[in-house]
Amino acid sequence: MKEYWKGGNMLYPVPAVLVSVGTMENKNVFTVAWCGTVCTNPPMLYISVRKERYSYPFIVENKEFVVNLTTKDLAFATDYAGVKSGKDTDKFKDLGLTAIESKYVKAPSISESPVNIECMVREIIPLGSHDMILADILGVTIENSYMDDKGKFDLKKANVITYSHGEYYGLGEYLGKFGYSVKKKKK
């Protein structure tokens, strides 16, 4: 039997990412779970952010940010960066995160993250509690220790985490690759 609820966000799990903003001299990091892929060509993503967040003006003024994927080793930092405000503390310092220069934007990337996605704001769309920030992906930096012998990024090695209704989880087991349901069996 199914139970019916009023409309609400139940699209889980979602990525839990650390978003870095500002410059190397004046930076902040915060956690975002409302994010995702928008388009392949041109490469685009979105993040949804409340206007009240300390980092929101950094994005509006600078028109750029970096999405840093999180791992099991970054789970504590991911939670902390989501509940502490940069107006009260230096989260990079508190968490021992290493800010490194990005290639395409002034916002720093996080060295400890396996993947840094450098973004330029294309449009900010007010939606209600959150504004959706649509961004072009200018460049991606990948930690090469997470590459397999075929030059493919290995999510299993990276231990990427997700967020689901107030809780963090490691990415599950491999089930198959795109198209496996229709692939012809070898004779």
Closest to 113 in 3D by CA, of 44, 40, 15: 15
Q: Can you tell me the distance from the alpha carbon of 56 to that of 59, in angstroms, rounded to the nearest whole number?
A: 5
What pLDDT, on the 0 to 100 scale, is given for residue 179? 85
Ranges of H-type helices in the chain: 56-62, 75-83, 91-95, 155-158
Q: Which CATH number fits domain 14-170: 1.10.10.10, 3.30.70.20, 2.30.110.10, 2.70.170.10?
A: 2.30.110.10
Q: What is the reported pLDDT for 183? A: 82
> Residue 5: what pLDDT?
86
Tell me if 136 sits within 8 A of 104, measured CB to CB. Answer: no
> For the chain, which residues make up each domain, given as ranges?
14-170
CB atoms within 10 A of CB 163: 22
Residue type, 119: C
Residue 17's pLDDT is 97
Ordered mean pLDDT values, 10 residues apiece, the chain (187 residues): 86 93 98 95 97 97 98 96 96 98 98 97 97 98 91 85 90 78 79
Specify the length of the chain in residues: 187
The confidence score (pLDDT) of residue 37 equals 95
The letter for the amino acid at 96 is G
* Token pair recorded at residue 13: 């799990």
Instruction: For the beta carbon of residue 97, count every other beta carbon within 10 angstroms.
Output: 23
With contact defined as beta carbons under 8 Å apart, do 120 and 136 qualify? Answer: yes
CB–CB of 67/17 below 8 Å? Answer: yes
Quote the pLDDT of residue 36.
Answer: 95
Backbone angles phi, psi at 2, to 5 degrees: -105, 155
pTM of the shown model: 0.92
Amino acid at residue number 14:
V
